[in-house]
Structure 1
Amino acid sequence: MKNFESRGHLLTEQVNPNSRDLDSLSTLEFVDLFNREDAQTLAAIAAARQELAAAIDLIHGALEKGGRLFYLGAGTSGRLGVLDAAECPPTFCTSPELVQGIIAGGAGALVRSSEDLEDRAEDGETAIAHHQIHDLDVVVGITAGGTTPFVLGALAAARARGAKTIYIACVPAEQVQVEADVDIRLLVGPEILAGSTRLKAGTVTKMALNILSTGVMVKLGKVYGNRMVDVAVTNSKLRDRSLRILEELTDLDRAAANELLERSGKRVKLALLMHWTGLDPQAGEQWLASHKGHLRAAIEAMDNG
């Protein structure tokens, strides 16, 4: 890749003609402008639909074989990756090791600016080594402007270790070319505040990560219909959600649903299988495991058996 001394030509750094008078707008005009510009995120996601689907399939295949998923970035991009990774355990009852976020500067950079650290490609390489990334893993490098040395160094190091790589940027390929297994470009145009990629670029990145992690978890059997049946019952809100799932899918009342949830060890997916098949918890666990945790497949196999 070229060494860019000036990044002014990048799409994310250009001046948005629609907001040249930003400091002269009324408050309502300002809000309306934001709304119009943010609409471009939907078009950007639609334009990247094939790449997003390819990324989901790539990650799913790796995780099914025992691999892990890593999001990696600096600044806003890194924070978004850490956020998406952190939300997987409570939503899908995954281990914290399955999906991980790596941000330049470490945990402290989540709450304090560390933008100077993004210029160190060697830190990206070190992060890959520290997490012992290997050929079953997938590394998603996130960089709105496409040129962040921390991310590019990490992706190169990950590829050298045999890991699959996914590149997410908000600049077109002709401006920045990077070698990756899946190349996702989310082209939302210049920001209304020139260069502030926490705005549209950040929004569209969050949308893309939502699609990736949810799509992968659906394919891993973490969902039945559109219910999060692998939800971790760790607080009152999630317990209530678990009970509502059981009530709605089984027609049990709250007390019976609670008893079923307790017998299953607070595992909604297992509770549903037990209710629908009459299996005890141990047999239910074994039956689910034989169908890779897919509740629908387990139920259909029981019905057909």
Structure 2
Amino acid sequence: MSFKKTTEQDSNYDHLEEMSTSSLLENINNEDQKVALAVKKVLNKIGLLVDIIAEKLANKGRLFYLGAGTSGRLGILDASECPPTFGVSHDLVIGLIAGGDSAIRKAVEFAEDDTEQGWKDLKEYQINEQDVVIGIAASGTTPYVIGALESCNKNNITTGCITCNEGSPLAQVAQYPIEVVVGPEFVTGSSRMKAGTAQKLILNMITTTTMIKLGRVKGNKMVDMQLSNNKLVDRGTRMIMQALDVDRQTAANLLKQHQSVRTAVNYYKNAHR
């Protein structure tokens, strides 16, 4: 199969500067609606990777995301949401970006072109065979990511990828490739748009499904979430009220005492057997 970057193909629209605001928004929305359908086509590939990740994390492994630019930022975003949402350690899901943390806010020139830096960044975390590394690159050609996955493979570390071009060099390197082809962007080559949305949807699926499989959700509730603001304290209180059929004050007292929805519910049930 010849490799063709659909992420770089000309937009299906032209003369954008001549469009009205409503036309621009409608056309962007039309393109966005294609993303979920493209993701649906690769659910089996996502499932294969999730099962591997859940097994590794259940046995003291970690999940690493590796990317450059928008892809790197999306990985960091997903990783950063896991501790407050699921109550896991900040060391369980880790996002790395070419150019280091300063690249989260401001692009670092040519950082993504270093084929060795990705592996160096991973080695700072004592990466090992228990871990899983997912390379994220819309183009599927980012040297920082490809080089890292090649080194992971040589060291018996499980690798996956999320890319938006079919048959890319990155997909050929990854053991568990996810190729979600969303087609040309509304603004030609602007892969922060549909490609970025597709990557975000898949990242949501990977960590949410993994955490559910690891027992971090009960019923449909985030029973291990961190109580880091008043909104979450209120949510936790309501969750306890619903789970135990108690009044708000009782639920609030239980949450304040135990600082965890799961712990509060278990304590109350054990005490009222």
> TM-score w.r.t. structure 1 length?
0.85
Match of 1:11 in 2: 6
Give matches, 1:52-131, under 5 Å.
Answer: 52-131=46-125
One of 184, 187, 191 as aligned partner of 1:193:
187
Distance 1:247 1:196, change over 3 A: same
Structure 1's unaligned 5+ residue stretches are: 280-302
- Give the Cα separation in 2 of the matches to 1:268 and 1:134: 34
CA distance in 1, matches of 2:231, 2:149: 38
**Partner Cα separation in structure 2 for residue 29 and residue 206 of structure 1:** 25
Map Cα deviations across residues 269-298 of structure 1 (whole Å, 9 max, x no partner).
12112222338xxxxxxxxxxxxxxxxxxx
In structure 2, the partner of 1:274 is: 267
Opposite residue 229 of structure 1, the aligned amino acid is V
From the superposition, tell whether residues 70 and 57 of structure 1 become closer, same or farther in structure 2 (CA, over 3 Å): same
1:27 matched residue in structure 2? 21
Identity between Structure 1 and Structure 2 (%): 41
Alignment of 1:107-256 (within 5 A): 107-173=101-167, 177-256=171-250
Instruction: Work out which of the two has the higher radius of gyration on C-alpha atoms and give 1 or 2.
Output: 1
Cα shift at 1:174:
6.5
1:91 positional shift: 0.5
CA distance in structure 2 between the aligned counterparts of 1:250 and 1:183, rounded to whole angstroms: 44
Please list the CA deviations of residues 154-196 of structure 1 after superposition, one character each: whole Å capped at 9, or x if unmatched.
Answer: 1112222221111110001267642222110111001011111
**2: distance between equivalents of 1:105 and 1:199?**
22
Output the CA distance in 1 between the equivalents of 2:168 and 2:147.
20
2:227 is matched by which residue type in structure 1? Answer: V
| Cα shift readout 1:218-256 (whole Å, capped 9, x = no counterpart) | 011110111000011122121111111101121111110
Within 1, Cα distance between the matches of 2:168 and 2:213?
33
Q: Against the structure 1 CA distance between its residues 133 and 174, is the aligned structure 2 distance closer, same or farther, given a 3 Å change threshold?
A: closer
1:115 CA displacement = 4.8
Q: Which has the higher contact order (CA 8 A, sep 6+)?
A: 2
Partner SS state of residue 19, structure 1: coil
- Could you tell me which amino acid in structure 2 is paired with residue 270 of structure 1? T
Say if 1:38 and 1:200, in contact at 8 Å, map to a contact too.
Answer: yes
Q: CA deviation at 1:148?
A: 0.1
- Alpha-carbon RMSD across the aligned residues, in angstroms, is 1.8
After superposition, give the CA deviation of every residue in 1:13-54 in whole Å (9 maximum; x if it has no partner).
1102x2122222111110000000001111111001101111
TM-score, normalised to structure 2, is 0.95
When structure 1 is superposed on structure 2, of 93-102 and 114-123 the one drifting more is 114-123
More displaced stretch, 93-102 vs 265-274: 265-274
Please state whether the residue corresponding to 1:139 is helix, strand or coil.
Answer: strand
**Residue of 42, 46, 50 corresponding to 1:48:** 42
Please list every run of at least 4 consecutive aligned residues from structure 1 whose deviation after the TM superposition is greater than 3 angstroms: 174-177
Distance in 2 between residues matched to 1:172 and 1:180, nearest whole Å: 13
Mapped to 2, the partners of 1:80 and 1:124 lie a distance apart of 16
Secondary structure in 2 aligned to 1:86?
A: helix
Contact in 2 for aligned 1:119/1:150 (Cα 8 Å): yes
Are the equivalent residues in 2 in contact too, given 1:81–1:101 (CA < 8 A)? yes
| Matched letter for residue 122 of structure 1 | E
